[in-house]
Amino acid sequence: MSNVLKKEAFVLPEGVIYLDGNSLGPLPKAAAGRVQEMIADEWGQMLIRGWNQAGWMEQPTRVGNMVAGIVGAPEGSVVMGDTLSIKVFQALASAVKLRPGRKVILSDSGNFPSDLYMAEGLVGLLEQGYELRTVAPEEVKDAINEDIAAVMLTEVDYRTGRKHDMKAMTELTHANGAVMIWDLAHSAGALPVDLAGSNSEFAVGCTYKYLNGGPGAPGFIYVRPDLADEVQPALAGWLGHRQPFAFEESYQPGKGIERMRVGTPPVIQLTALEVAMELWADVDMQELRAASIALQEQFIEEIERDVPQLTLASPRNSAERGSQVSFRFEEGYAAMQAVIDRGVIGDFRAPDIMRFGFTPLYLDAEDVSKAVAIIRDVMKNRLWDNEKYKTRARVT
C-alpha cells in the first residue's frame, strides 16, 4: 500500500485545492499542538534551561539529519539555520576560497534572483576582479571552463520547473576544476536527490515549500564530508565557533558541519519543521516522484484538451522538470487571481507564468480534475477580465 498520500495529516481548508505547495507547504496537523507544547512547557516552564533540558541547541543538527535523508546526504553533513539566502552566501564564499586564483562565479538566468543577488553582493565585497557570470540555462555546459571558481545552479527552475541534470553538470564542473553548489529549494521533498552520489561540494535549500516547515522556516546547508573540516566560513557566527561558550575573542571554526552554523537557532520554527519532517519517515522518494509525474501528466493533458488559451511553459518531457507545471498566459496574473477566488490556489511569476505545484502527499487525481474544471470555467468565460483581479498584491 502506498505511503505517499497523507492527506489526513494536513490542514486543508474545505473547498480548496492547493496547488501551491511548491511555494508554501500546508500546515501539518501535528505541528500546531507540538509548537504550543514547546512554547508552554519548554519556553514557558524551562525558560533558559530549555537550551539544555529540551535539546534546543542540538536541534539544528538533529533536524539537519532528517533533511539529509531526503536529499541523499550522509548523517552529519547538513545543518539548519538562518535563511536560504544566508546559506547561499555561506556556500559561495566558502567555494571561492577553495579555488584561489579563479575569479568567476557561474550561474544561469533562470536561477532564483535572491541567489544571484547574494552572488552580486559577495563579488562586490571581494572586488579584486571577481565577477558573476550568468548565461541562459541551456548554455551553462558550454560556459564551464577553467576560469570558473564555482558553478551555482538551482536544480529546478522556479518559474518553469525545468530541471538540470545534477550528476552530469557536477561531473562537468569538476572536470574543469570548479566547485559545484546546488540550490535545492524546488527539489527537496519534490523528487529524489542524491547529493552523495553527485559528489557536489555544497548544497543549500529551504524547508517551507515541499517540506512543509511553515512560513519563514529555516534554510539548510550541506557540505561534502571530506571538505567539512576544510571550508572557511565567511560568516563566522558564534554558534559556528568550536567552543561558543568559551567566549573567545577570536573565531575558531567548529568541527565539521557545525562550523556552518551562524546565529541563534529559531527554535519555534525548527520545532514546527521537526514535526513536518516526521511525515517523511516512511515515504519512498521514487514512489513520490512517480506519483508527482502522474499528477502532472494528467494536469497537462486535461489543460491542453480543455483550456487552449494556456500555453505550456514547462518541459514536456517529465524527466526534465521538477514537481510543478507552468503555463503562459498574457493576463496570467488576473487569471490566477480569478482561479484562486474559486478555490484553486496556484501562483503567478512575472512576466506571464501561471504556476501549479504537485505534491502527492496531499493531492490526488480527483483534485487535479476538479482544478482543471475550475480553470476551464475561468478561461472559457473570461472570468479573469475584471478589474479586481488586475491590481497586483505585494506577494504574487
Catalytic-labelled residue, pool 10, 89, 208, 362: 208
What's phi and psi for 34, nearest 5 deg? Answer: -65, -40
d(Cα 287, Cα 285) in Å, to the nearest integer? 5
Torsion sign across C-alpha atoms 140, 194, 115, 180: negative
What does the buried/exposed string (b/e) look like for 123-154 if buried means 16 or more CB atoms within 10 Å of the residue's CB?
beebeeebebebbebeebeebbeeebbbbbbb
Catalytic-labelled residue, pool 87, 162, 209, 376: 209
User: What is the C-alpha R_g of the chain?
Assistant: 22
Catalytic-labelled residue, pool 112, 158, 348, 362: 112
d(Cα 378, Cα 336) in Å, to the nearest integer? 9
Is 209 an active-site residue?
yes
**Running DSSP on this structure, what letter comes out for residue 41?**
I
Sheet architecture: strand order including 179-183: 78-80, 220-223, 202-205, 179-183, 148-154, 104-108, 131-135
Collapsing DSSP to helix, strand or coil, 81 comes out as coil
Catalytic-labelled residue, pool 87, 163, 349, 355: 355
Is 117 an active-site residue?
no
Tally Cβ neighbours within 10 Å of residue 238. Answer: 15
d(Cα 95, Cα 199) in Å, to the nearest integer? 14
Collapsing DSSP to helix, strand or coil, 357 comes out as strand
d(Cα 84, Cα 88) in Å, to the nearest integer? 6
Amino acid present at 165: D
Collapsing DSSP to helix, strand or coil, 320 comes out as helix
Is 159 an active-site residue?
no
d(Cα 133, Cα 156) in Å, to the nearest integer? 19
Is 183 an active-site residue?
yes
CB 211, CB 361: distance < 8 Å: no
CB 316, CB 291: distance < 8 Å: no
d(Cα 235, Cα 104) in Å, to the nearest integer? 21
CB 233, CB 253: distance < 8 Å: yes
Q: Which residues are catalytic?
A: 112, 183, 208-209, 355
